[in-house]
Structure 1
């Protein structure tokens, strides 16, 4: 099996990270993988905000829990009750992916960029976890101060995020794949 297919099959969501920061050269390679993702009509409607300051990452997590407490969604509200929950699993690096609000394909295009970056991380033996919950904060009225502080450009909306770090534990067993998800018409 070639290395690309191997990395796709081996990638798992990492939720336990070592405290050491992802080194700059590896982080650059991961971000470049996102920049080279395909996008509809090559619009590249993304903006990446890389956060490596623990104080900001922790403030984002706490602010998410505060907004979750007020949610009408029971699933979201449950996160606010867990004192130990950290929306980014205490990872040392967080990447926010924002999309051009005027681009109808931004969500999909940004999602493709995230997957490229997560596969690149796996190829470098760096763990990652796609985190959707932070959008509840950053796209709310309460989140506007963070959008400004994090310098997310005007006209862009935070869509996806993921955290990165060196894996504390290696997860090797893949959950069973659902059956009957493919049919061929020849």
Structure 2
């Protein structure tokens, strides 16, 4: 089967949930953000917005608020995660990129997902650890939601869809879990 650097990076990338405390460099951050900006978007509208959060105190506040919001959800698994005092939704990563999109954008969820995936792959390609984290969205569902949006500079008319946590990996993952079989149909 054909292979190249891109395909190798795709197969090697894993969700990292353990980070060193050291902050990533501005150059590394810009590389990851640029990959997000170059994602495809419906009609080439590029209606996303990225908020970089590196303030530990603010990340701690978002963690607490997101877990409080998640504890209210009618899902036992999410409630267990939310009620675990030791659990940090950002896994201790020093950088979080909040991905938001213009609410009335054409298939904006897909556009933001493409940007998120591009950032995850870019992070892996330059040796950073990254994880796609949606639990942050619960921070925007409570009373503080609008305050957070303003504090984070999320533009009016934009909704947050995901976040990417970034940092240096504590441990290098070894193997990919097996892929499910029988997920492709061919019609020729």
TM-score (norm: length of structure 2): 0.95
Deviation for aligned residue 1:145? 1.3
- In 2, Cα distance between the equivalents of 1:57 and 1:126? 19
Deviation for aligned residue 1:104? 3.3
Deviations 1:98-120 (A, max 9, x none): 01001131100000011011100
Q: Identify the match of residue 164 of structure 1 among 153, 163, 166.
A: 166
* Counterpart for residue 71 of structure 2: 69
Mapping of residues 33-48 of structure 1, within 5 Å: 33-48=35-50
**Structure 2: which 5+ runs fail to align?**
none
**Structure 1: which 5+ runs fail to align?**
none
Q: Identify the match of residue 94 of structure 1 among 78, 93, 96.
A: 96
- In 2, Cα distance between the equivalents of 1:155 and 1:139? 15
* Counterpart for residue 129 of structure 2: 127
TM-score (norm: length of structure 1): 0.96
- In 2, Cα distance between the equivalents of 1:114 and 1:84? 26
Deviation for aligned residue 1:127? 0.4
- In 1, Cα distance between the equivalents of 2:44 and 2:143? 32
State how many pairs are aligned.
Answer: 186
Cα-Cα RMSD? 1.1
- In 2, Cα distance between the equivalents of 1:156 and 1:139? 14
Contact 1:45 1:100 in 2 (8 A): yes
Q: Identify the match of residue 148 of structure 2 among 122, 143, 146.
A: 146
